[in-house]
Amino acid sequence: MRRVWALFIFTAVTSLKAEKPFEFPTTPGKLPKHIRPIEYAIRIQPDLAKLTFSGSETVQLSVESPTRQIVFNAFDVSVTEARIDENLIASSAVKADTKNELVTLSLPEELQHGQHTLALKFNGKINQFGRGLYYVKYQEQGTGAKKLLLGTQFEATDARRLFPCWDEPVFRARFQLSAVVPENWMAVSNMPIASERKVSAGREVSFQPTPSMSTYLNVFCAGEFDAIESETEGVKLRIITTKGKAESGRYALESTAQILHYYNQYFGIPYPLPKLDQLAIPGGFGGAMENWGGITYYETALLFDPQNSSITTKQRVYEVIAHEVAHQWFGDLVTMAWWDNLWLNEGFASWMGTKCTAHFNPQWEVWLEKSIPRDPARRIGIPKEQAMEGDARATTHPIQQPVATEGEANNAFDDITYKKGQSFLRMLESFLGEEPFRDGIRRYIQAHQYSNSTTADLWNALDAASGKPVTEIAAAWTEQPGFPVVTVKRENNGKVLLAQERFTIGFSKASDGLWKIPITYFIDAQSAPATMLMSQKTTSLEDIPMDRALKLNVDGAGNYRVAYDATSWKLLLASLPGMNAPDKVNLLSDAWAFVQAGLQPLAFYIDLVGRLPQDTALAVREQIINVFDSINHLLADTPQRDQFRNYAQWVLRPTLNELTFEPIRAELPTAPVLRASLIQELGLLGDQDVIKRCRENFEAYLKNPASVPSDLRGATFAVVMRNGNAEIWQRLHDLGLKTTSTEEKQNYYDALAFATDPALIKKTLAIALTDELPTSRAVFLVSKVARESDRPDLAWEFAKANFKGLLAKVDALGANSYIPSLFTFFTDPNRIEELRSFAKAHLSEASAKPVEIAADEIRFRADLRRRLIEQIGVLK
Ligand SMILES: [Zn+2]
C-alpha cells in the first residue's frame, strides 16, 4: 500500500508541470489499477428502527495481471463474508485499514488474468449528517406528522459508506441496485425500476443497470413521496418531493424541460438516460448533487411556491437546476479522472449553468448577480468577487491542485474551483468566440463520453476547434495561483503603456507570475470593444485619443483587475454617466479591492460612489450594499461606526425612495430584489423610518401573511429582530416551529441570528443542537449568529463547548472547515493562536488548510479595520 502511495504523490506533483491527456494507468489514486470492477449488483436492506442496514453485492472484476490481493474501499461498513468465484475467503484474510478507508482480501491462491466474481456481505449505519446513506426526520406538509426518509450523498468519497467499492472516479462500472423499502414508500435511483416484489419486510425494488459511471454518482432515496411528471425529447422528467409539496415543483419541472432542450442542442449528444428525476430533500445535506438521472436538492433549491416564495428563490432554483443538469454531461457522461481536476466538473457546470440561465432570463442580470449558487456546497450565494478576493491571498492555490487524501478531496470544493474556473471559461469563450468554443466542447464530449478526462483533453479539443493556442493561454490561469492586475499609463503621443503583475492582498512574499491575458477595451462608453492578447509583462496600445476615456476589461468579464493612472481615471470618472451597469460594477469592484489591498485609501472608493449617477441598477447598488455591510461589521464597537452609518444611509436612502417602499406595478424585474436588499441594509444601519415601517409590516403579517410581499419577508423579519426584544424573538421562533415550509422556516430562523441581546444570542445558538432545523442548516446558524450579531466571541464560546455535537451534524464538505470558518468573523489577531491550538487538539489533519485560511482572514480584517478607523474622517 505504501508503495502505491509514494507513486501517487509523485505523479500528482509532476502532473501539474505538464499535464497529460487522460490515461487509465497513470491516473492518481490509492487503489491498484490491475483489477477493475465492470459491473456491481448491490442489494441493500435498511433497518429503520435501528438505523442500520445490511447489504450484499456481487462485483464482476476484470483482472489484468495475476494477483494474490484484492484492495477496495470501505468505511464504517463491516465486511462479514467474502467469496471469490464462489470460494469463501477466511475472515482472517479480510483486513480493514480504517485510516486509509481500505479493505484488503488476501487470497489463498493467485487470481489469474481474466474475469472473476467477488461476492460480499456487509452491514453499516444510517447517519444524520449526509454522508453515505442518511436519514432525514421532517414534519409532513398538511398533516404535521413526524416522518422519516432515506437519502444518499456520495461525493466526494462516501459511496464506500454504503457499499464496498472501487471508490475513485476513474473506476467506472455499471451498477444494478436493489433495495427493500416499506410497502407505502417510493424508491428512486439513477435508473427506472426494472421489477418489484413483496418481501416480508415490505417491498424489494430492483432498478435497471446504469451505464458505465463513477461510484460517487450513484443515488438511492426512499420515503413517502409525491411526484409530478412530464416528458421532453423522449426523457421522462419527474420532480419528487415529500407528501403535499409536489405542486411547488411545477416551476422546476417546466424549467428543466427548457434547460434539457438547450443542452441537448449545445452538447450535440442528447441526454443519455431514459429518465431524469429531481428530488427535493428537506435536510440531510445543504446543496444539490448531480447524481446521474437522480439529482438531489436541498428543498429550497428546487421548490418554488408562487404565493410564498421570493424572486431570489425562483432565480436560485433555475440556476441550481441549470448547473446540475449541465453536470449530466460534464461530470457524469464525462468525468474528471481524479479530484485534482475537480474544477473541470465544477468550473464548467458553473459557467454553463449561468450561460443557460442568462440565455432564458436576461432580466436577472445573472452574470452580475451576487448570488451565483454552487453545489454541493452548504453556503449559498458566493459573490463573484469573493473568488478573486480569495485568489489574492497567501492561502490561494492553483485551480488544478494536487489532491492526496479523501479529506483533501473535500477541501477542493471551494471558491477557486467553482468561481475562478467559471470566470476563466467565460473569459476564454469571449476570446475564442461562442461557436468555436461550443464546437470544442462538442468534440471533447464526443471523444470522452462514458469515460474520463483531464484538463489537457479539454484544451486539446478547444485548440483543435478554434485554431488558437488554448493550451498555452490556459496554463498560467489553471496551473499557477493568483491573477494579474494590469496598470494603465498614458504617454503623450496617444500611446498607452500596459504592464501586468500579480495582484495580492496582505501577501508581500508572493511569487510573481506571467499571464496570457485576453484583454478587452473600449474608448468612451459608446465605441465597439476591441481585443488583444497580452502575452508579455508589458505592451502598449497606440492611437488612443488623449482626451477620451479608455476602459479595459469590458463588462468586467475578464479575471483581472485594472489600475489606471490619474489622467485615465479622471477621464473614466467623467464618462460614468454613459457607462453600462457591468462596467460600473467592474470599476467599483476594482476600486474596493485596491482599498482592501491598501493600495488606495477609503476615499478612492467613496469618491467613485459619490460620482455615480443616481439609478436603480441592481448590480451597481448591490456592490455598494455589500461593501457597506462589511464596513459596518468591521467597525463594530468603534466610535467611528455611527459616522459611517449616517453616511451609508445618506447614500442608500435615495435609491429606496426612488424604488418606493411598497412594490409598484410595472417595475423592473430586479426591483423586488433590490428593494429587499435596501430595506434590510438600511434597517441594520439604523434608518428609523425603515425600522418603523418594518415593524408595521410585521404586525400586519402576523394578522395576514399575504399582506407582506414574499420578497420582503426575510428582510422585514431581520430588521424587526435586530431592533426587537425577547417577545419578537419568541414570536419568530413560534412561527418557525409551526411552519412546514422549508423556505419560510429558514426566513424565521435566519432572522433570529440578528438579535444583539446576549441572552437572545445564546438562545439562538442553542437551536443548533436541536432537531428544529435540518442538520445542514442547524450548524450554520452558529456562523450566521457570529456574523450578524457582531458577537463572534459568543458564537465561538458556544461552538467550543459543543463542538462534538455540532461536528456530528456537519456533512463531508464542511467537516474540515466548519470550526475554522467561525474564526473568520474575528478581527483580533490573538484569536489565531487559539484556533491553531484548538485545531491541533481536536481537528483532523485535513483542517490545516482551512485553519490557515481563517488565520489569514483574521489578519486581513484586523488590518483593514485599523485603516478604516484611521480614514473614516473622509466621510464628512
Ligand atoms: Zn456542481
pLDDT in tens, 138-153: 989 989 899 999 999 9
606 C-alpha to ligand 1 centroid (Å): 37
Q: What is the pLDDT of residues 43-55, one digit of tens each?
A: 999 999 999 999 9
Q: Picking from 362-366, 554-558, 581-585, which range would have the lowest pLDDT averaged per residue?
A: 362-366
132 C-alpha to ligand 1 centroid (Å): 18
Q: Alpha-carbon dihedral of residues 568, 572, 574, 575, nearest 10 degrees?
A: 140
Convert 645-655 to b/e letters by CB count within 10 Å (16 or more is b).
bebbbebbbeb
How far, CA to CA in Å, does 452 sit from each of 21, 171, 276, 448, 681?
A: 10, 9, 22, 6, 47
The half-sphere exposure of 685 on its side-chain side, counting CA atoms within 13 A, is: 28
Q: What is the pLDDT of residues 210-230, one digit of tens each?
A: 999 999 999 999 999 999 999
**pLDDT for residue 320 is more than 70:** yes
How far, CA to CA in Å, does 350 sit from each of 321, 375, 446, 475, 800?
A: 11, 9, 21, 20, 35
712 C-alpha to ligand 1 centroid (Å): 29
3-class secondary-structure state, position 291: coil
Convert 239-251 to b/e letters by CB count within 10 Å (16 or more is b).
bbbbbebbebbbb
10 Å CB burial of residue 228 (0-12, 13-18, 19+) is middle
Chain centre to alpha carbon of residue 855: 22
345 C-alpha to ligand 1 centroid (Å): 6
Q: What is the pLDDT of residues 534-574, one digit of tens each?
A: 999 999 999 899 999 999 999 888 999 999 999 999 999 99
CA distance 233 to 666: 36
CA distance 874 to 876: 6
Q: Which of 821, 755, 787, 836 is nearest to 378 (CA)?
A: 821
Chain centre to alpha carbon of residue 378: 7
CA distance 772 to 734: 11
How far, CA to CA in Å, does 749 sit from each of 619, 717, 737, 772?
A: 27, 9, 9, 10
Instruction: Provide DSSP, 659-692.
Output: H-SS--TT--TTHHHHHHHHHHHHHHHT-HHHHH
Q: What secondary structure, in 3-state letters, does 46-103 show?
A: EECCCCEEEEEEEEEEEECCCEEEEEEECCCEEEEEEEECCEECCHHHEEEECCCCEE
Rg, the chain, Cα only: 27
- The pLDDT value recorded for residue 82 is 98
**pLDDT for residue 613 is more than 60:** yes
Q: Which residue has the higher pLDDT, 421 or 858?
A: 858
Output the average pLDDT for the chain.
Answer: 91
CA distance 295 to 260: 14
Q: What is the pLDDT of residues 280-290, one digit of tens each?
A: 999 877 789 99
Q: How confident is the model at residue 25 (pLDDT cuts 50, 70, 90)?
A: very high
**pLDDT for residue 575 is more than 50:** yes
Q: Alpha-carbon dihedral of residues 513, 514, 520, 523, nearest 10 degrees?
A: 90
CA distance 594 to 765: 36
Q: How confident is the model at residue 241 (pLDDT cuts 50, 70, 90)?
A: very high
Within the chain, what is the greatest distance between any pair of CA atoms? 89
- The pLDDT value recorded for residue 637 is 93
E strand residue ranges, 568-691 = none
CA distance 381 to 369: 9
Q: Which pTM was predicted?
A: 0.89
Instruction: Provide DSSP, 434-475.
Output: HHHHHHHHHHHHHHHTTEEE-HHHHHHHHHHHH-S-HHHHHH
What mean pLDDT do residues 178-198 have?
Answer: 98
Query: Can the peptide bond before residue 156 be classed as cis, meaning omega within 30 degrees of 0?
Result: yes
- The pLDDT value recorded for residue 106 is 97
387 C-alpha to ligand 1 centroid (Å): 16
463 C-alpha to ligand 1 centroid (Å): 25
Residue 116's contacts (CB-CB under 8 Å, 6 or more residues apart) are: 60, 61, 63, 84, 85
- The pLDDT value recorded for residue 384 is 58
What mean pLDDT do residues 299-326 have?
Answer: 92
10 Å CB burial of residue 147 (0-12, 13-18, 19+) is middle
Q: What is the pLDDT of residues 491-521, one digit of tens each?
A: 988 999 999 999 999 988 888 899 999 999 9
140 C-alpha to ligand 1 centroid (Å): 29
**pLDDT for residue 665 is more than 90:** no
30 C-alpha to ligand 1 centroid (Å): 24
**Catalytic residue status for 64:** no
Q: What is the pLDDT of residues 372-386, one digit of tens each?
A: 333 222 233 334 567
What mean pLDDT do residues 721-744 have?
Answer: 94
Q: Give yes or no for a contact between 502 and 484, defined as CB atoms under 8 angstroms apart.
A: yes
Q: Which residue has the higher pLDDT, 405 or 721?
A: 721
330 C-alpha to ligand 1 centroid (Å): 9
- The pLDDT value recorded for residue 419 is 84
Counted residue by residue, the chain has a size of: 876
Of 101, 168, 290, 324, the active-site residue reads 324
Residue 805's contacts (CB-CB under 8 Å, 6 or more residues apart) are: 769
Q: Alpha-carbon dihedral of residues 332, 256, 210, 814, nearest 10 degrees?
A: 50
Q: Picking from 90-104, 415-429, 671-685, which range would have the lowest pLDDT averaged per residue?
A: 415-429
766 C-alpha to ligand 1 centroid (Å): 32
Q: Which of 213, 210, 177, 171 is nearest to 196 (CA)?
A: 177
360 C-alpha to ligand 1 centroid (Å): 20
Chain centre to alpha carbon of residue 223: 27
Cβ atoms < 10 Å from Cβ of 594: 19
816-820: list long-range contacts, CB under 8 Å, 24+ apart: 816/407, 816/410, 816/411, 816/843, 816/844, 816/846, 816/847, 816/849, 816/850, 817/411, 817/847, 817/850, 817/853, 818/779, 819/843, 819/847, 820/847, 820/850, 820/851, 820/853, 820/854
- The pLDDT value recorded for residue 167 is 98
CA distance 767 to 753: 11
The half-sphere exposure of 630 on its side-chain side, counting CA atoms within 13 A, is: 20
343 C-alpha to ligand 1 centroid (Å): 9
Q: Give yes or no for a contact between 820 and 854, defined as CB atoms under 8 angstroms apart.
A: yes
CA distance 204 to 179: 6
CA distance 283 to 268: 36
What mean pLDDT do residues 790-807 have?
Answer: 95
Q: What secondary structure, in 3-state letters, does 695-724 show?
A: HHHHHHHHHCHHHCCHHHHHHHHHHHHHCC
Instruction: Provide DSSP, 250-278.
Output: HHHHHHHHHHHHHHHHHHSS---SSEEEE
3-class secondary-structure state, position 800: helix
Q: Alpha-carbon dihedral of residues 864, 866, 867, 871, nearest 10 degrees?
A: 130
Q: Which residue has the cell 452548504?
A: 378
348 C-alpha to ligand 1 centroid (Å): 8
